[in-house]
Amino acid sequence: MANTNQIYARLTTAGSALTSAYAAGIAWAYTNNGRSDWHLPSKDELNELCKYAKNTGQAAGGATLCSGGADAAVRGFTATNYWSSSEDSAVNAWQHSFFDGSRGANSKFSTTNYVRVVRAFG
């Protein structure tokens, strides 16, 4: 949640973007069932979510990158790339593929990916 809050604070202070114009802003503003403590997952949280979505049977922990398993659609996910809140540089952020489990950094400004918000993780 810390990454999401920092991104939101930076862009809000700068006045440079509407909340609905960037992934962390969407997560920060999201409310469901009266809960508003949602955040954009970090790259490691997103890796764990990928393991769940694809039902890989892999152990929890960052040492194991999501791979194998079933079609993510079986558990209500789309087999595509999702943004994380983890930045790689001033212009790139980490994304994770729920198709093949790969992850990498891509442009925050010119790449369109899905967003999946989460609450407390762990």
pLDDT value for 4: 64
Residue 56 has pLDDT above 80, yes or no: yes
Question: Is 13's pLDDT higher than 70?
Answer: no
Query: CA-to-CA distance for 21 and 16, rounded, in angstroms?
Result: 10
Residue type, 77: F
- In 10 A of CB 76, how many CB atoms? 8
Confidence class of residue 12 from pLDDT cuts 50, 70 and 90?
low
Handedness of CA 76, 117, 103, 18 (dihedral sign): positive
88-103 pLDDT per residue, tens: 999 999 999 999 999 9
Q: Give the type of residue at 4.
A: T
Q: How far is CA 22 from CA 8, 57, 61, 86, in A?
A: 9, 32, 28, 14
What are the DSSP E strand ranges found in 15-115?
81-87, 92-97, 103-107
Give residue 16's pLDDT: 58
Contacts of 35 (CB under 8 A, 6+ apart): 119
Q: Which of 66, 64, 63, 120 is nearest to 98 (CA)?
A: 66
* pLDDT score, position 39: 87
pLDDT at 24: 77
